[in-house]
Structure 1
Amino acid sequence: MAERASPLRSSKLPPAQDREVRSLSPEARRQSARDERDESRAGLRSVLVRRMGPGTRAFEVFKRTMVGTYQDGFIHAGNLAYLSMLAIFPFFIIGAAVFQLVGGAERTSQMIAAVLVTLPPTVSDTIEPVAANIVEARSGWLLWLGAAVALWTVSSLVETIRDILRRAYGTKAIHAFWKYRLLSAGIILAAVVLLLISLFAQVVIGTAQAVIDASLPQLSQLIGTLRLSRIVPALGLALSLYMLFYSLTPHEYRSKAYPKWPGALFTAAWWLGVTTALPPILSSFFAYNLTYGSLAGIIIALFFFWLVGLGLVIGAELNAALAEPETAGDELANDSADNTQTEE
């Protein structure tokens, strides 16, 4: 019978650095304090390099996003700018038809204002009077005929966004052309319904403000809180973009393993940032009236939609860069292997 190995003989000694006896001499303590000061001085830089430098996930995601944006972003941004100008007025026609169907034709002006609230004043001032004239000029069967044509026009914009996401993820179309068009039409109608709900919410909030102001003037702070509903358009924009990204992302990358909210959040922040920064920049550094004359408003609107389109492309590329199919594939393979072993 083999002799049992002694625990003392079988145990392994720790590494040399762990067996070193730390010196507590004054010179050693001074050197340790000097090292700590050097680390604190270079702390922020070392942390940034360690967490965001080459070789890290953050750096890899940033590189993927920028490469994808450089390859396709500027072309798609121009396409989105053109289609946005082409589709925004047909969208108002669709909204007017739906509002007439539910008996709220008098609220079409509020619908236009709700859509334009996320645009810079220069752009909204150019679009609003034209949109009002277009909506008022149609009624009855002419309105519904215009809505049918408008649905096709606006669906082209949705299909362009779908193609942007498809290119970002590197996938191809798997359904027939008419199926994608029907899905796009459903998304557009859902957007109009959400717009109708948001307008109803704004009416309720405005009524609550008026009642409190008239009956309970001492609750002025509560009224100020209710006026925080100005952030509702921003939240609605972020939610709409998330639903758009989720519904148009290729089916293979629609699960929870591949997040969609980073791209939607970035696009919403980019959109609001452009809306805020564009007016002072145009008034301070550019004089479009001298170059384009009466067409300056249209050119500024196109430029705004181009910037928004670029932000949307960056958001799509960000979501694609965050996707790790190799990791998700390993997990799925392990799960299937476990299931096979269990069945055996």
Structure 2
Amino acid sequence: MVRSTKIITFIKIIYQSLINTINHDGIEHAGYLSFLLMLAIFPFLVFFTAIIGTLSSLVDIPLVTTLTNLIINSPWASFIDSLKPRIIEITTLPPQSFLTIAIISAIWTASSIFEGIRTTLNRAYHVKNPPAYLLRRLFSILEFIIVIIILAVAICTLIIIPAMWDFLEKHIVIPDAQIISLIDKDLEVLRSTILYLFSIVFVSYLYYSLPNKKQKFTKILPGAVLVLFCWAAFSKIFKYYISYFPQINMIYGSIAGIIISLLFFYFCSLILIYGAEFNYLVELEFKEKK
């Protein structure tokens, strides 16, 4: 009886989260976020590549190469085919003078996406009186820098694990080739697990730090996990759609690639907003029972 009640409550929260997303103009705000993401992605990559390029030269670790491979081999790479040439150009040939010339402009533009997400999440979390605009922008820049650090740590982690295995493989004799093959498979699973965990940390960080509301980190985990699950499911559905239904190419012609990227960003933003609405209702339900 108790289990069935919990299931019914969970279904109600899922449904009400969808209604709240619509009522709080989430459908419209997702379009706003997709535009900001398209606007911010290149300044973000230029700044980030310049940073990790500098780190690579200091520690002699191929961080930029790992970043490029992550973008190319991403499950979502096919949805941004029109952007990939410029992304690869940025990550392989970063502007050498960037850090001294355009750093302020790039940080301001790239951090705009954080300000846009904050505005949308404040709506989802029913924040009535957010701080003044300039203070919010300062927070957005700080959060942008924190995200840079998180991503740099993630890339370093993905490099260190294979490097450790290569070292062990060279200095420790493993006679059975089958054992090596099994370890390589386990290593790939470990890399995927690390990426998934960093993704949860990243989405959780957005939900925890961006809204102008005090929260417990554990309270925002359900929405973060739900968002990642929905992103994975949506990417498979969207990939099937653009493969078998050519309406986008027929309507938009030569700019279809840009439209596909915008549509992908739009639905990912919508799912992110939905996750925030879900978190708010879960927290509300928990408070009422408490």
SS of the aligned residue for 1:139 comes to coil
Cα distance change, pair 195–326 in 1 and its aligned pair in 2 (3 A): closer
The separation in 2 between residues aligned to 1:93 and 1:134, in whole angstroms, is 6
The separation in 2 between residues aligned to 1:127 and 1:217, in whole angstroms, is 45
Cα distance change, pair 202–59 in 1 and its aligned pair in 2 (3 A): closer
Q: Identity rate of aligned residues, in percent?
A: 25
Aligned residue in 2 for 1:111 = 67
In the alignment, is residue 168 of structure 1 matched against residue 124 of structure 2? yes
SS of the aligned residue for 2:96 comes to coil
- 1:212 shift after superposition: 5.4
Q: Which one of the candidate residues 146, 163, 171 is aligned to 1:190?
A: 146
- What letter corresponds to residue 235 of structure 1 in structure 2? L
In the alignment, is residue 236 of structure 1 matched against residue 198 of structure 2? yes
Cα distance change, pair 125–211 in 1 and its aligned pair in 2 (3 A): farther
Please list every run of 5 or more consecutive structure 1 residues that lacks an aligned counterpart in the other structure.
1-42, 332-344
Aligned residue in 1 for 2:185 = 224
Aligned residue in 2 for 1:263 = 223
In the alignment, is residue 123 of structure 1 matched against residue 56 of structure 2? no
Aligned residue in 1 for 2:95 = 138
The separation in 2 between residues aligned to 1:274 and 1:325, in whole angstroms, is 27
SS of the aligned residue for 1:251 comes to coil
The separation in 2 between residues aligned to 1:311 and 1:291, in whole angstroms, is 26
Per-residue CA deviation, residues 185-227 of structure 1 (Å, 9 max, x unaligned), is: 1211121122222222222222244445565362222222111
The separation in 2 between residues aligned to 1:124 and 1:66, in whole angstroms, is 27
- 1:63 shift after superposition: 4.2
- What letter corresponds to residue 238 of structure 2 in structure 1? L
The separation in 1 between residues aligned to 2:204 and 2:74, in whole angstroms, is 16
Q: Which one of the candidate residues 32, 35, 44 is aligned to 1:79?
A: 32
The separation in 2 between residues aligned to 1:170 and 1:201, in whole angstroms, is 37
- 1:175 shift after superposition: 2.3
Conserved? CA contact 2:43–2:107, under 8 Å: yes
- 1:310 shift after superposition: 0.9
The separation in 2 between residues aligned to 1:194 and 1:160, in whole angstroms, is 20
Aligned residue in 1 for 2:271 = 311
Q: Which one of the candidate residues 32, 41, 44 is aligned to 1:88?
A: 41
The separation in 1 between residues aligned to 2:266 and 2:88, in whole angstroms, is 24
Cα distance change, pair 199–108 in 1 and its aligned pair in 2 (3 A): same
Aligned residue in 2 for 1:29 = none
Cα distance change, pair 243–47 in 1 and its aligned pair in 2 (3 A): closer
Q: Which one of the candidate residues 165, 175, 179 is aligned to 2:135?
A: 179
> Which residues of 2 match residues 1-344 of structure 1 at below 5 A?
48=4, 50-53=5-8, 57-71=9-23, 72-104=25-57, 107-115=63-71, 117-134=73-90, 136=93, 138-140=95-97, 142-211=98-167, 215-216=173-174, 218=176, 219-220=179-180, 221-228=182-189, 229-252=191-214, 254-255=215-216, 259-324=219-284, 327=287
Q: Larger relative CO (CA 8 A, sep 6+): 1 or 2? A: 2
Cα distance change, pair 278–102 in 1 and its aligned pair in 2 (3 A): same
The separation in 2 between residues aligned to 1:262 and 1:326, in whole angstroms, is 12
- 1:261 shift after superposition: 0.7
The separation in 2 between residues aligned to 1:275 and 1:189, in whole angstroms, is 28
- 1:83 shift after superposition: 1.0
Number of residues paired by the alignment? Answer: 279
- What letter corresponds to residue 76 of structure 1 in structure 2? H
The separation in 2 between residues aligned to 1:198 and 1:64, in whole angstroms, is 35
Cα distance change, pair 201–137 in 1 and its aligned pair in 2 (3 A): closer
Conserved? CA contact 1:120–1:275, under 8 Å: yes
Greater Cα shift, 78-87 or 169-178: 169-178
- Normalization by structure 1: what TM-score? 0.71
SS of the aligned residue for 1:259 comes to helix
The separation in 2 between residues aligned to 1:73 and 1:313, in whole angstroms, is 6
- What letter corresponds to residue 260 of structure 1 in structure 2? I
Q: Which has the larger Rg? A: 1
Superposition CA RMSD, Å = 2.9
Greater Cα shift, 86-95 or 290-299: 290-299
The separation in 2 between residues aligned to 1:91 and 1:280, in whole angstroms, is 29
The separation in 2 between residues aligned to 1:109 and 1:47, in whole angstroms, is 49
